[in-house]
Amino acid sequence: MHHEAGRFTRAVALVTALALLCASGLASAAGAMCSARSPAHRVALVELYSSEGCNSCPPADAWLGQWKNGGAARSVVPLALHVDYWNSLGWTDRFSQHRFTERQESLTHLAGDHTIYTPEVFVAGRELRSWSRPESFNSRVAQLIGQPSDADVALDITPRAGGAFDVAARFDSRIADAAARLDAYVAVYENALSTQVGAGENRGATLHHERVVRQWFGPVPLVGGNAHIRRDIRLADAGANTGTDFSADRFGVVAFVENAATGDVLQVADLAFCH
């Protein structure tokens, strides 16, 4: 009787060990890669064009930060793009990139306008001057998410050794018009940033930023309705010269597909870096 009980105990221990091993393997596999897929409806990509040299920009930065973890059931995806045309006016914004000035100019020209300014907000590729009025912004978002999407976006992030991450984005279009050129983009953003401004209009202020775009890839044209963007992202490069600790918790990726002729953003996917 004692011998049978011992065998039973060993069997239970073996089954328990195997179960724990399997559970560990599943957790490891789940932790090895994280993924995001765009929903069936359109998602509102909110682009804020900002600068640390602009004294009317901090309220807009704070406004954008309320969606840093997603909003409206993750139907709002915010990005802060710092432009460089303020840099000669007293304070050089360390997050500014000329390509963001060029993108702001491009979206403005596609809309038939010729004036760029900060802070300026685009929602799904269209300017929204009344962004600070909740009823106006909420109405625009509700209009977008009430529409079926003409494209699908898939994002996968796989951690690598040494603080590197393999980012893979896939874009698929359902637009029947083969003449419509669609472009794919990937943006790496960083949260929880702050700057003590020493000159310019915000001199003496400590500014706080969320969703600041650090790296930008694209445009990559969709061919036959499909495109792929794959990049090896190193956090030390994404946050170069910012004094950050390169914690993966601060970073994320946004991928979106855009109509090149109109600037309309058809669909978006958003994914924080996993460990």
Span 243-257, average pLDDT: 82
Residue 43 lies in a domain: yes
Min mean pLDDT across 152-166, 206-220, 237-251 is at 237-251
Q: Please report, rounded to a whole number, the percentage of residues in the chain having pLDDT higher than 90.
A: 76
34, pLDDT greater than 80? yes
Average pLDDT in the 108-120 region?
95
Q: Report residue 149's pLDDT band, with 50, 70 and 90 as the boundaries.
A: very high
Helix (H) and strand (E) counts in the chain: 5, 14
On the question of pLDDT at 73 being above 80, the answer is: no
Q: Which amino acid is at 47?
A: E
**Domain carrying residue 96:** 34-272
Mean pLDDT of the chain: 87
Q: Per residue in 93-117, is it b (16+ CB within 10 Å) or e — as a string?
A: bebbbeebbebbbebbebeeeeebe
CATH number at residue 149: 2.60.40.10
- Please check whether residue 250 lies inside any domain of the structure: yes
| Interval 74-78 mean pLDDT | 91
Is 97 domain-assigned? yes
Q: Which two tokens stand for residue 190?
A: 């960083």
- Model pLDDT, residue 25: 30
Pairwise pLDDT comparison (258 vs 245), residue with the higher score: 258
- Whether residue 11 is contained in a domain is answered as no
Least confident of 8-22, 58-72, 123-137: 8-22
Q: In what order do the strands lie in the sheet with 164-173?
A: 34-37, 151-160, 164-173, 226-234
Q: Is residue 225 part of a domain?
A: yes
pTM: 0.86
Tally the domains of the chain: 1
pLDDT > 70: percent of the chain:
84
Query: Which residue type, as a one-letter code, is found at position 63?
Result: W
pLDDT of residue 71: 60
Residue 228: inside a domain, yes or no? Answer: yes
Asked whether the predicted pLDDT for residue 48 surpasses 50, the reply is yes
